[in-house]
Amino acid sequence: AQKITQTQPGMFVQEKEAVTLDCTYDTSDPSYGLFWYKQPSSGEMIFLIYQGSYDQQNATEGRYSLNFQKARKSANLVISASQLGDSAMYFCAMRERVLIDYKLSFGAGTTVTVRA
Amino acid sequence: NAGVTQTPKFRVLKTGQSMTLLCAQDMNHEYMYWYRQDPGMGLRLIHYSVGEGTTAKGEVPDGYNVSRLKKQNFLLGLESAAPSQTSVYFCASEQAVNQPQHFGDGTRLSIL
């Protein structure tokens, strides 16, 4: 079963508009963490935002915010005021405990293209 | 501050050849990971290490071996390269499980 599901392979957004990237997850671990990473065309993985399963408030980091709906197992990334530099692949990831270790599982990613 | 450094950045191998990818981190992180990234599949965990001298299998370990003789280094070996191992390989490290992983810039490996 897929641990992380990103249903949007690609999205287009107009510059200065907001965009929401969907992410749903599946885990039985009550203490898990959710991450979003950005991968521009240059290939590096850039950490954007983190949400712990026990965090009461949605995480925010500058123009990035995480819409965390625990009951729905959803952790959508919202990018506000999109910029051309936001064009990239975005990955949702979940950290959960598996036996004695913690594993990070990635979704397949969503490609965002920002139009001028 | 170098962070996580992967060597080499690009490599082309012939089927059956062997090679070692090197990952070095200067952040004194305990945990280190090797992933492969293939189109449409995100990142998949190959092997990982929770400390010097320890290694464990991830999601797709077959055909790979690893070693962590020094805390700062994590080596990924391909004993007999196969075309199915053509991929982009990422190394990552982290200090704690609720902290983000720091990634290297990746190694693009092609097996002919």
Inspect the interface and report whether the beta carbons of B42 and A33 lie closer than 8 Å. no
Q: What angle do CA A88, A90, A94 make, to 5 degrees?
A: 160
* Residue A116 in tokens: 């001028």
- pLDDT tens digits for range B55-101: 999 989 999 999 999 999 999 999 999 999 999 999 999 988 778 89
pLDDT recorded at residue B95: 87
User: What's the CA gap between B42 and A90, in Å, rounded?
Assistant: 10
**Calpha distance A27→A95 (Å, rounded):** 9
Instruction: Give the pairing of strands B107-111 and B87-94.
Output: antiparallel
Write out chain A residues lying below 8 Å of B42, CB-based: 4, 91, 106-109
For chain A, the distance separating the N- and C-terminal CA atoms, rounded to the nearest angstrom, is: 39
Closest CA to A7 of A92, A82, A71: A92
Residue A100's pLDDT is 75
| A79 compared with A98, residue with greater pLDDT | A79
Chain A residues lying within 8 Å of B9, measured CB to CB: none
Which amino acid is located at B65 in the chain?
Answer: N
Report the C-alpha gap between B110 and B112 in whole angstroms.
Answer: 6
